[in-house]
Chains A and B, each alone.
Chain A
């Protein structure tokens, strides 16, 4: 059965280190990827290959913003991608990691 997700998740801070939640699997698709959380049984669609690249590199990049930049997100699109990451954080698909 699904573990309870903490209510009132703090807002997404792109200057912190992030990672995919350990119970989440990603499956690349032509449009981007499917993300499935085995704990909450929620399915999300990452609707761009770039967003998939961002999410995949979160764990190896020092911050959320660095993951965006490393995936080739330009400064004009940064806010858009950070909003997408915020949505993923809110649904528990990605979570803060303790140290960079």
Chain B
């Protein structure tokens, strides 16, 4: 993004203006369904099964009308696997017809050659294909057997259809942090743009964060790699805590939760950010009187988040202006105080706190739509996982709803 500013002193820095909140979000994540045909171990929304209270097609269209009125330029649609919804394309068309651009995240399983053609012909739809390993071994250990091949096939189809510049979206983990160059090569091969984001201990991510989050050395390497690649590699502004190393990465470098971003979940609940699905960060519901507009403008939670930051325990740190204390959700779900350092604080200030909090139980996500598959801890070791059950293929409609078991 670009700052276009007449060069003269203004009363407030832009970052401070954003801290006070905007009339509407700049970037809104809308998760259309909790249903998913995968069961990624780090799923930020603990997705798997559809929620019976998910917004209907009509309600979704009303919400899009509201986005249009609020001049929300585009929404990031996710899930779950959003393309699983039977009305997915209808909603995409409705949004773009109403001047709301769509960028959607997918595991690629529904990107047929026909879908790729259709996407390539639209000016207002962008696509993010998720992949968390540059090799099948690393990816499938996290996203499930076959998911690497599925994503690669989707990228091949997008490239074949002539869609230039779709996104290859990667969550950086301890296991793939050494594959950054390989990810970039993959993106280039399919004329896609690489997007790296930060692993948060949100949703099922809380269960695997200890094993998956990058080491301190890897964080440093990632920071240098991102600085070297500049704006060519997208980050969704998710690594602003790395500004503590010195130089800020491209982007706004602030936590936008409830200020410039928020999440609308499949049942219409509005949370401060996609990584904060917990009652503590629930601002309201789009089905309540006044709708999304009122939640955004008047919720107590968002008003609180928009108060100027004091910095808390980080106030005396010289790096605070850069990292601004890091990620709220990362702190919350690791049991750290919100007004202190990030668990991955580059100066190591979070590590000591984490050790001190080792005996306390961090908050759990308020919702869990995981499929009731194998009991016990999820395996994160880099060994192939056992194949998912047959009915995992169709979370919206199990065998008894018309999908014959194969």
Contacts and interface: CB of A to CB of B under 8 A. Distances in A.
A67 interface: no
A86 B270 CA distance: 39
Interface stretch (B86-94, B122-130, B195-203, B285-293): B122-130
B4 A44 contact: yes
A25 B73 contact: yes
A27 B24 contact: yes
A81 B6 contact: yes
B17 A30 contact: yes
A42 B5 contact: no
B122 A48 contact: no
B7 A80 contact: yes
A42 B3 CA distance: 11
A42 B4 contact: no
A81 B7 CA distance: 8
B12 interface: yes
Given A42-B1, A47-B6, A34 B26 contact: yes
Contacts of A88: 4
Contacts of B22: 29-30, 34
B74 A36 contact: yes
Interface in A1-18: 1-3
Contacts of B71: 25, 27
B14 interface: yes
B8 A80 contact: yes
B72 to A, nearest CB: 8
B73 A77 contact: no
Contact of A3 (B5, B7, B123): B123
B24 A77 contact: no
Contacts of A59: none
A14 to B, nearest CB: 14
A36 B164 CA distance: 20
A38 B101 contact: yes
- Number of chain A interface residues as a range: 20 to 34
B73 A47 contact: no
A48 B14 CA distance: 11
B1 A45 contact: yes
Contacts, number: 96
B58 interface: no
A9 to B, nearest CB: 14
Nearest to A85: B4
- Number of chain B interface residues as a range: 20 to 34
A91 B14 contact: no
- Candidate in B7, B14, B119, B162 with the most chain A CB atoms within 10 angstroms: B7
A2 B123 contact: yes
B123 A45 contact: no
A83 B7 contact: yes
A64 B131 CA distance: 46
Contact of B14 (A3, A27, A31, A93): A31
Contacts of B8: 77, 80
Contacts of B7: 80, 83
B163 interface: yes
A34 B2 contact: no
A51 B4 contact: yes
B254 to A, nearest CB: 13
Contacts of A46: 4-5
B145 interface: no
A38 B73 contact: yes
Interface of A: 1-3, 23, 25, 27-31, 34-36, 38-39, 41-48, 50-51, 77, 80-81, 83-84, 87-88, 91, 93
Interface of B: 1-8, 10, 12, 14, 17, 20, 22-24, 26, 71, 73-74, 99, 101, 119-120, 122-124, 126, 162-166
Given A23-B123, A83-B7, A91-B2, 18 more contacts: A25-B71, A27-B23, A27-B71, A29-B23, A34-B22, A36-B101, A38-B73, A38-B74, A39-B123, A41-B101, A42-B1, A43-B73, A45-B14, A46-B5, A47-B4, A47-B10, A48-B5, A51-B6
4 nearest A-B pairs in the assembled complex, by CB-CB distance:
A47-B5, A36-B73, A43-B1, A27-B71
15 contacts: A1-B164, A25-B71, A27-B23, A28-B23, A31-B10, A31-B12, A35-B4, A38-B124, A47-B5, A47-B6, A47-B10, A47-B14, A51-B5, A80-B8, A93-B4
